[in-house]
Structure 1
Amino acid sequence: MRHHLQRHLAVSLTIAAAALAFATGTSPARADGVSAYDGVYSGAAAPAMAISGCGQRETDIIIHVKNGQAWTHHHRLSGQVDATGNLSMQDGSGTVQITGQIAANNLTASETAPEKPKKLGAAYNNNGTICSYTISASRG
């Protein structure tokens, strides 16, 4: 009986610690642009949109930028933002496909890729093709 109570207490404390970590935002499952977890965005700021492109109505990709990492709604991109706001993103082969500049909390850039591109960051559009995009972003 005593062993059962000790085990129950240990489980309760583990659950309480996990709940506290989640409440304080230290859970590794949060993809808020700060953590290294590549999952669905759950930060406090307005979430970014999923990538979209050729053949679809929406050709804007909203990117959330925090600590030099660029995120869409679902994916951390393989792009980096340096201290002066320069943005560079690569496709799956490491070829730079997007360059831009973040200034006054906004980034405007354009990207042109082949009709059958390799993986761009961590996301494809729905058609598996990427045409031209206008990208806007804000610092997190």
Structure 2
Amino acid sequence: MSKDYDIRQAQAADEAAVRACAEDAYEQYVEAIGKKPAPMVADFASLITAGCVHVAVEGPADVIGFIIFFREGDHVLLENVAVRSDATGRGIGKSLIALCERTAKSSGAGSVKLYTNEKMSANLTIYPRLGYRETDRKTEDGFHRVYFEKRI
């Protein structure tokens, strides 16, 4: 299967599409969690301005996925990765995560860390398959989170 999308740094004009992608990708978890997951209420404008957001796009501007990551000390925090429901199964999420890992490695970071909600059961199997190991579980801000790390 050929890659029919590009990944680029997000621009201010992408904010609404990034927010819509987050809403679409995470809506399925609202009932199970009991409230909107943190990625649905992020300050995307500030994150885009800070250069933390990359988008997967079809054509010049159709955002079909995004990733948010940034350096924190000796590691990179992968804060959010989402793919629109009509674009899943095409390797977009894996490509976005690979970008994060390459960026982390080239910056000299020792690892990529992330967390997910324990109710997002698919993530609990996907991340280990990508080489991440579970490091902790705790409740923060009313969310039951599972922490992962991948040495790079």
TM-score for the superposition, normalised by structure 1: 0.28
TM-score for the superposition, normalised by structure 2: 0.26
Looking at CA atoms only, which structure, 1 or 2, has the larger radius of gyration?
A: 1
